[in-house]
Amino acid sequence: MESVYYLGVDIGTTNIKAALFGEDGEQIAEDTMPNRAVRPLNWDAMDANALADSIKSLIRKVCQDQGSEVAALGFSSMGETVLPVGSDVEQGALAPGIYWYETCTMPQFDRLRTRIDPREIHRLTALNPSWIYSASKVMKLRDERPDIYEKTRAFLDVSSFMAWLMTGEAGFDLSLASRTLLLDVQNARWSPELFVAAGLDMDKFPPLKAPGEVRGRLRPTVARELGLNPAAIVVTSGQDHIAAAYGADVQREDEAMVSIGTSAAFYIPADRACYLTDAFLKRFYLAGGYSAFPGDSYILTGLSAGGFCVDWFVNRVLGRGYLMLSGMNLGRTRTLFLPNLRAQMDAFPSGGFTDLTDEDTGESLLQAIMEALAFECRVTLEEAFRARLGGKAGEESGGKAPEKPGRVVVLGGAAVNSLLAELIASVLGSPLEVPPFPRLATARGAALSAARACGRGWPLQRHAGTTVPPSPVPGLSDYLEEKYQRHLKLFRGIENERSNPPEKTGATGKEKNT
């Protein structure tokens, strides 16, 4: 019997990863290359055509020995960035796409929320209304490049852009549509009300495609260019964090995923019924959407600057690099850190330290940064579990649904930063599970979607990774609990702002504080 292989591609903000897997899920080959932003004006953007060339190069390298036996390709990507394309697939993208973290779309977002109550946006989309999402980015293109907007046949998420280049068929991944601020999440359809408010043409957004849904087969020219099987099919697997949860098999009600890369994401499975409850809606900073598990959904929240905070401090501030972590021991410090180095929705302040003393050192400040990430992990997971209790899962459990995770999978930088993983385990009070593929979970999830689209993939299973227990340092748990309570108290005002978005008043569109 001939061997069959499945390729997963993870298109991240900082890096692109590709990994090839066999029929039983064993990893055959993998490689990584940087994903570099361009600055056509005064903001970071994605040169999608250069990105496509990089991905093709990566695919050729990873599949050089098994290309003719690759049965399917799966793509996953960062959310929010969208790309305009025309009718000619050979032309590629018509313009660069604005990266998700750029604040240059604030004026468009401000205009949107004067046209429709932010609370109604939240109800329709299960998202905290923000400039981060795709709607404002498309509005900016329409405002500043109307010529390109008019030429655009379809706006595509980044994964769907690659699927379009590979197959010639346009669609929009449902999981990534959950990050546009244009999706009616309860009914899995584009929202006419939101398109009218944004002043956008709904016919420029192609049909929605579920993660794992077949997009088509490789175009003959693409198959020849990449040295792949021309019968290979192509799928998308949703947003990168969502595909990672799929690859790590985080789907049960007592499970959670902590993924810390450039940003940080905290994920739990949830039913969509909870999105309409007060328990969810009052926690305005939580987000919902469609997962890579067929028909399932989730609650997600996180930080725009997660692992970036550590990178910023050890490289930009101290210039010492990650080697300083290898000889560092956990100690005690009064200092607290707010990890919002990048804009965190529109009501958030910047990052900063507080309670600094002349006894602080580089190591103590780095520990404060990692503690802050652990504290945010705990508070957001606890809030997400409380919000989920308001939905169908809470009703069916008779009030016995779990209030905190029993299994926590950690991925990304936190999985290889042993001190950060130890702090998270200590703050949560439970061990963390580190799978054997922590940096390839997204690529693995994308490949698994591809395999299952062929009706052949490997079974989801718990993999023999490693376990990170809470720190054995005497007294550390009491110290962290006391400091966690200080963290909550100090930043409670921020949490209140999270839960109370501005209201629209009258026809003037002016807002009032609530």
Residue ending a domain, among 194, 211, 241, is 241
Q: What are phi and psi of 428, to 5 degrees?
A: -75, -25
Pairing of strands 70-77, 5-11: parallel
What global pTM score does this model have? 0.87
CATH number, residue 497: 3.30.420.40
Cβ partners under 8 Å of residue 424, min gap 6: 258, 373, 374, 377, 408, 410, 414, 432, 468
> How many structural domains compose the chain?
2
Cβ partners under 8 Å of residue 111, min gap 6: 139
pLDDT of 504 > 50? The answer is no
pLDDT score for 389: 84
What are the tens digits of pLDDT across the range 245-270?
A: 998 889 888 999 998 877 888 999 99
Q: Are residues 225 and 344 in the same domain?
A: no
d(CA 508, CA 235): 45
Q: Are residues 188 and 288 in the same domain?
A: no
Q: Are residues 36 and 173 in the same domain?
A: yes
Q: Are residues 427 and 294 in the same domain?
A: yes
pLDDT score for 473: 79
Is 444 inside a domain boundary?
Answer: no
Domain span at residue 265 reads 250-308+339-434+472-503
Is 441 inside a domain boundary?
Answer: no
pLDDT of 147 > 50? The answer is yes
What are the tens digits of pLDDT across the range 45-90?
A: 999 999 999 999 999 999 999 989 999 999 999 999 999 999 999 9
pLDDT score for 508: 34
Q: Are residues 215 and 293 in the same domain?
A: no
Helix (H, G, I), strand (E, B) or coil at 269: strand
Provide the percentage of residues in the chain whose pLDDT is more than 90. 66
Residue ending a domain, among 241, 272, 290, is 241
Helix (H, G, I), strand (E, B) or coil at 477: helix
- 9 bridge partner residues: 18, 75
Is 73 inside a domain boundary?
Answer: yes
Cβ partners under 8 Å of residue 484, min gap 6: 375, 378, 427
Is 509 inside a domain boundary?
Answer: no
Q: Are residues 98 and 115 in the same domain?
A: yes
Higher pLDDT, 115 or 322: 115
What are the tens digits of pLDDT across the range 454-470?
A: 987 665 555 556 888 88
Q: What are phi and psi of 339, to 5 degrees?
A: -85, 40
Q: Are residues 214 and 233 in the same domain?
A: yes
Residue ending a domain, among 221, 241, 261, is 241
State in Å, rounded, how far the first CA of the chain is from the last one.
Answer: 66
Cβ partners under 8 Å of residue 460, min gap 6: 249, 251, 448
* Type of residue at 11: I
Is 200 inside a domain boundary?
Answer: yes
Contact 504, 111 (CB under 8 A): no
* Average pLDDT rounded to a whole number, residues 121-149: 96
Q: Are residues 271 and 218 in the same domain?
A: no
pLDDT band, residue 235 (cuts 50/70/90)? very high
Least confident of 254-268, 284-298, 448-462, 470-484: 448-462
Helix (H, G, I), strand (E, B) or coil at 448: helix
Q: Are residues 234 and 286 in the same domain?
A: no
Token pair for residue 370? Answer: 């990692």
The single residue listed with the structure tokens 């990048």 is 342
